[in-house]
Chain A
Amino acid sequence: MGNIDELMATCPLKQYIRQNLWETFIKKLNRKPISYLTFYAPTIMDVKHFTKRGYIKFEESVYKNVVGITNDEPRGYPTAIGEGKGRLEVFKIGEAHKLISSSDKDLICKFPFDVINLDYCNYIFGPNNNPYISGNLKDISLIIEHQKKNKCREFILFITTRTDKRKKQEGKSVSFAKIFIDSLKSRIKSNIQVNPEFRKKYKVIFSGDIDQAEKLNYKDFINIGIVKLIAMELAANGYVIKDCSAMWLVRDEVSPQRDLLHIAIHVGQGAVKKVKSKELSQYGGVSYLEGGVTLILDKISNGKVESLTEKKDRDKLNKLLGSYIKQLREDTFEIKVPEPLPHGE
């Protein structure tokens, strides 16, 4: 286990998100145990936490109905087999969209999932991605499609992405790809035009047009834009957003600062009205009138999207959650050995 992994594993901010965002949303399903697909951090703290809370069944040394996917083989294996009390039921190395496209039988047969946690530590559409679609967006799209194929009526979707704008290197932007930002802008713009409720709530948060919103209130713009993007993907598969929330985790102890957006969506079945208008022709001609997107605007305007920063919140949260995190961390299959007192000799 490397130092970074250890730091992530013991991060009280992340644990706060597990408890106050993720767990709150899982509760909405009103169901135990759950089936869980996770792009876990290499310490399976999420799996351990949900197991402790009774959402994941641990039986015969196996975390039942838990599927872990990682494309980091050297770090992934020791985690899947050595970091918990037992092993994940299915563990796959690779990218989700590639595994799904190649009809990986171990993964496919586990659909649908009650909870899907796509915890990307990088941008969901970075500058180096293919100009049309990123692997991460393909993941999201294919996973939702497979939920639908497998007749899932209700599920929880967590998406985490890095969002901070980094300085340009050799003339290239190292943040979200420009095409992605433009796409978010056009999606939000279309919603402003066709959805009066959205327009009303948008004006509470942003004073100017969408370009100004991106410049002046980048974080909220990204948050709304990504929710809108997911909402469209859901709508195309006959799903609606029943509830939605988000939290920010700002890693500011080490430069460069990283802003990580954690989005949680409660998804249910439902038809979303398609909107066709002349005004939309420039945005592709078809849009969905997703009422659910306004939920995130409500949360933002009511100050309910919390932002946690390492410098400000780490110590405070450590006092609150430190011992629980330690307990989770030590919850492995290995025999527990007591810690000696310092200065033993």
Chain B
Amino acid sequence: MRKENQYTDYAIEVSARILRHISRGIYRTPAGALKELISNAYDAGARKVTINTGYPTFKEIIVTDGGKGMTRDEFVKIIQNIGLSEKSAGYEFKIPGSNQKRVTIGHYGIGVLAIGQLCEKVTITSKTKNSIEGFEAILDFEQFETKEINGFKRALIKDEKEIEKEDREREKFPIGKCSIRSLKYPKDNAEAQFTKLKLENIRNPVQRKLSGSLLKEYNDLNVQRLYSASFQNLLTLYREKEDAIRHGQYPYEKLCWEVATYSPVKYPEVGIFKPKSTLGNLGKLANDYCFEVIIDGMEITKPFEKAFFEDNKYPVKNIFCWENETYSKGKKVSGYLIVRQHIRPKSLQGILVREAGVAVGMYDLTFLEYPFHEAAKFEQLTGELFAEGLSGALNIDRNSFNETDDVYLDLVKWFHGKLNKEVFPQIKKEMKGKIIEDIADNISKLIMAYGRRDKKDYRINFERMGKKEHLFHKKGTALTVNMDHPEGRLNKKKMDRFLLAAILVLENIVSHEDIEMILQEVTRTQKEIKQHG
């Protein structure tokens, strides 16, 4: 019998159904699942990972990395304890065959779930260095079967109710079956190390999404495949077709772009990322990851097109760069923001946060929910933050942050401070300077045009001469304007009045001393009218 005012303890438990749901797939997109596999290769010390997608049908995907590989025992441990990875985030190790060090991305050991989300069957072959033994494992994610409902094939859990009943009595939840056999390699191959994943029977919805066959259901949509010889080539196509890509067309190009954004690959040697350029140090930082990702014979880099930096119409206006700044206790961040009037593709607009080089989500146009309105200025910014110590703030899919995490909040605070005190004030200042420059240019053109009517060579210059100097200095047909004079501060509202005054002086109708008095009188009268109506 329960006594009043006395607490009773209960364990809080998670239902099998939730775990099963998670195991069915936690990644929003196929690129997200591939990211997990690439991250695994990165943590395994691989310097290169190759992905053969089987484009355009995507019937089979092969991911191979030259990382340290696994022994049979290690692998068995992994598949029997998914989510209990022994390797923590932030573990530093020397990259084999290089002098550089690498910090692990860290994960929950859920790469197998990523595979299960993509396909029904996978063959894993792996071998470690200094050994002639390896293994081959065939994983069959038996919990799923494909059923056709209303003409659509869908992956479903086999007899869900029955399995749930069994789950209540289990401590672990089987999501598939694995058959392993040992392999022996010739002695000549003892040095070789690798892990190869051959994903077969790619799930129908994944295949349909990647191949774009879903689009065939729209009869009037005739989408032709694109072809890119190189990744730079693909970036150009991505920019040109971005609107269509956003609406679900060209999924392959989207996949490549997303993998390039996620992965800790190097920057292309273009524009400000070139060595010794403004962001050369960040470029070097990315190069130091010594990590290459090749998709279908195309080496991917960070998604920056050469044209982004070579467009004379929309040049890069400003670059903000921060190196090794402390944002939280003992935690450092480096990063940059590029200001450019027309950022294309639009997917580059915003800020991208990276933890150990790997992107968390895509470019965030809210700038980590910056609370002030900066209108179109947001769309003129693209940047990345390379932060340390954020692994604890990552959600399970590594695609978003727990926005109440202390360390994440410190990063947000630091970044918003930079935006508020450094970035936007500077942009505003530059914008104002540009406006004044445009007005001066307009006045100059109008004065010259006015003079040409009477075949007079009128010219006007703008200089800063100090507050005590007169507004105008006339020499022949040339007029110099003192921009420090109260009437010489250009703005759009005063432009007509200023133009008239300049013409009166140039035409010798009013002397340059008298015009100041007239202008002062006009200003005083205007103020009075405004005050008294």
- B19-75 interface (Cβ within 8 A of A): 48-50, 52-57, 62, 64-66
Within 8 Å CB of B65, what residues of A? 335
Known: A335-B194, A338-B192. A81 touches B298 (CB 8 A): yes
23 A-B residue pairs with Cβ-Cβ distance under 8 Å, sorted by A, are A61-B299, A73-B56, A77-B227, A78-B55, A78-B56, A81-B298, A82-B53, A82-B54, A82-B55, A86-B297, A87-B229, A87-B298, A88-B229, A90-B227, A92-B227, A333-B50, A337-B194, A338-B189, A338-B192, A340-B184, A341-B183, A344-B182, A345-B182
CB closest chain-A residue, reference B66: A335
Question: Are A82's CB and B297's CB within 8 A?
Answer: yes
The residues of A that contact B227 with a CB separation of less than 8 Å are 77, 80-81, 90-92
Residues in chain B near residue A90, CB distance under 8 A: 227, 229
Closest to A91 in B: B227
Would you call B134 an interface residue if the criterion is a C-beta within 8 Å of the partner chain's C-beta atoms? yes
Interface residues of A in 297-345 (CB under 8 A from B): 332-335, 337-341, 344-345
Q: How far is the CB of A223 from chain B (nearest CB, A)?
A: 36
Contacts from B to A (Cβ < 8 Å): 48-50, 52-57, 62, 64-66, 125, 127, 134, 136, 181-186, 189, 192, 194, 196, 225, 227-230, 294, 296-299
CB-defined contacts of B134 to chain A, threshold 8 Å: 340
Q: Which of A78, A88, A334 contacts B54 (CB 8 A)?
A: A78
In the docked arrangement, what's the CA distance between A78 and B294, Å? 15
Q: Are A85 and B181 in contact, CB atoms less than 8 angstroms apart?
A: no
Q: How far is the CA of A87 from the CA of B52 in the complex (A)?
A: 13
- Which residues of the partner chain A approach B185 to less than 8 Å between Cβ atoms? 338-341
Q: Provide the main secondary structure of the chain B interface.
A: strand
Kindly state the separation between the CA atoms of A88 and B229 in the bound complex, as whole angstroms: 6
Whether A60 lies near B230 (C-beta < 8 A) is yes
For B56, the chain A residues whose CB sits under 8 A away are 73-74, 77-78
Indicate if the CB atoms of B297 and A61 lie closer than 8 Å.
yes
A81 to nearest B CB, angstroms? 4
Per-position 1/0 for A63-76, Cβ under 8 A of B: 00000000001100
Question: Is A214 located at the chain interface by the 8 A CB criterion?
Answer: no
The reply to whether B55 and A81 form a contact with Cβ atoms under 8 Å apart is yes
Residue ID in chain A nearest B54 by CB atoms:
A78
Residues of B near A61 (CB, < 8 A) are 230, 294, 297-299
| Cα–Cα, bound, A162→B158 (Å) | 52
Closest B residue by C-beta to A92: B227
Chain A residues within 8 Å of B194, by CB: 335, 337
A82 to B56, CA, bound (A): 11
How many Å from the CB of A90 to the closest CB on chain B? 7
Determine the chain B residues whose CB is within 8 A of the CB of A91 once the complex forms: 227, 229
Chain A residues lying within 8 Å of B186, measured Cβ to Cβ, are 338, 341
Residues of A with C-beta under 8 A to B52: 82, 333-334
Q: Which listed residue (B50, B62, B296) contacts A81, Cβ 8 A?
A: B296
Is A12 in contact with chain B by the CB < 8 A criterion?
no
**Residues on B with beta carbons closer than 8 Å to the beta carbon of A77:** 55-56, 225, 227
Known: A61-B299, A91-B227, A345-B181. 11 other contacts (CB 8 A): A82-B296, A82-B297, A86-B297, A88-B229, A332-B297, A335-B49, A335-B50, A338-B127, A338-B185, A338-B189, A339-B185
Q: Which residues of B contact A335 (CB under 8 A)?
A: 48-50, 64-66, 194, 196
Residues of A within 8 A of B192 (CB): 337-338
Q: With a CB–CB cut-off of 8 A, which chain A residues contact B125?
A: 337
Closest chain B CB from A242 CB (angstroms): 32
B62 touching A334, Cβ below 8 Å: yes
A89: interface (CB < 8 Å): yes
- Give the complex CA separation of A345 and B50 in angstroms: 28
- In the complex, which residue of chain A has the Cβ closest to the Cβ of B188? A338
Most chain A beta-carbon contacts within 10 A, residue among B52, B66, B127, B186: B52
C-alpha spacing A85/B134, complex, angstroms: 26
* CA of A60 to CA of B225, assembled, Å: 23
Q: A81-B55, A341-B186, A345-B182 are in contact. Are A93 and B66 (CB under 8 A)?
A: no
A84 at the interface (CB under 8 A from B): yes
Among A81, A93, A337, the residue within 8 A (CB) of B297 is A81
A337 touches B196 (CB 8 A): yes
Of all A-B residue pairs in the complex, the 5 with the closest CB atoms, nearest first, are A344-B183, A338-B189, A340-B183, A333-B297, A81-B296
CA distance A306 to B427 in the complex (A): 75
Residues of A within 8 A of B296 (CB): 81-82, 87, 333
- Report how far A49 CA is from B20 CA in the complex, Å: 51
Most chain B beta-carbon neighbours within 10 Å: one of A84, A93, A335, A345: A335
Assembled-state Cα–Cα distance A93/B186 (Å): 43
Q: How far is the CA of A106 from the CA of B64 in the complex (A)?
A: 33
Q: Is A205 an interface residue (CB 8 A)?
A: no
A192 at interface by CB-CB < 8 Å: no
Q: What is the bound-complex CA distance between A339 and B184, given in angstroms?
A: 9
Bitwise, A88-111 to B at CB < 8 A (1) or not (0) is 111111000000000000000000
Instruction: For the complex formed, measure the closest distance between the CB of B62 and the CB atoms of chain A, giving whole angstroms.
Output: 7
Most chain A beta-carbon neighbours within 10 Å: one of B52, B134, B182, B227: B227
**Binary per-residue interface labels of chain A (109-142) against chain B in the complex, 1 for a CB within 8 Å, 0 otherwise:** 0000000000000000000000000000000000
Q: Is A213 positioned at the interface, with any CB of B under 8 Å from its CB?
A: no
- Complex formed: what's the CA distance from A85 to B52 in Å? 12
Measured CB to CB, the nearest residue on chain B to A343 is B184
Report the bound CA distance from A90 to B227 in whole Å: 8
Q: Which residue of B has the minimal Cβ distance to A342?
A: B184
- Collect the chain B residues with CB atoms within 8 Å of residue A78's CB: 54-57
* Min C-beta distance of A61 to chain B, whole Å: 5
Docked pose: A304 CA to B193 CA in angstroms: 50
**B64 in contact with A62 (CB, 8 Å):** no
Smallest distance from the beta carbon of A333 to chain B beta carbons, Å?
A: 4
Residues of A with C-beta under 8 A to B53: 82
Give the chain A neighbours of B50 by CB distance below 8 A: 333-335
Bound complex: CA A112 to CA B66 (Å): 41
Bound CA–CA A86/B232 (angstroms): 14
User: What distance in Å separates the Cβ of A56 from its nearest Cβ neighbour in chain B?
Assistant: 13
A334 touches B182 (CB 8 A): no
Shortest distance between the CB of B176 and any CB in chain A (Å): 22
Which chain B residues border A60 with CB–CB below 8 Å?
230, 299
- For A74, list chain B residues within 8 Å (CB): 56-57
Q: Which residue of A lies closest to B227 (CB)?
A: A91
A72: min CB distance to chain B, Å: 12
Q: Are A89 and B54 in contact (CB under 8 A)?
A: no
User: Which of A80, A81, A93, A344: most chain B CB closer than 10 A?
Assistant: A81
Question: Known interface pairs A61-B298, A87-B230, A333-B297. Does A93 touch B225 (Cβ–Cβ under 8 Å)?
Answer: yes
How far does the alpha carbon of A60 sit from the alpha carbon of B299 in the complex, in Å? Answer: 8
Cβ A344 vs Cβ B181 within 8 A: yes
Q: A35-61, CB under 8 A of B: which get 1 and which 0?
A: 000000000000000000000000011
B301: shortest Cβ distance to chain A, in Å?
11
Assembled-state Cα–Cα distance A344/B72 (Å): 13
Q: How far is the CA of A337 from the CA of B184 in the complex (A)?
A: 13
Given the complex of chains A and B, what is the CA–CA distance between A167 and B49 in angstroms?
52
Contacts of A82 in B (CB 8 A): 52-55, 296-297
Q: How far is the CA of A333 from the CA of B230 in the complex (A)?
A: 13
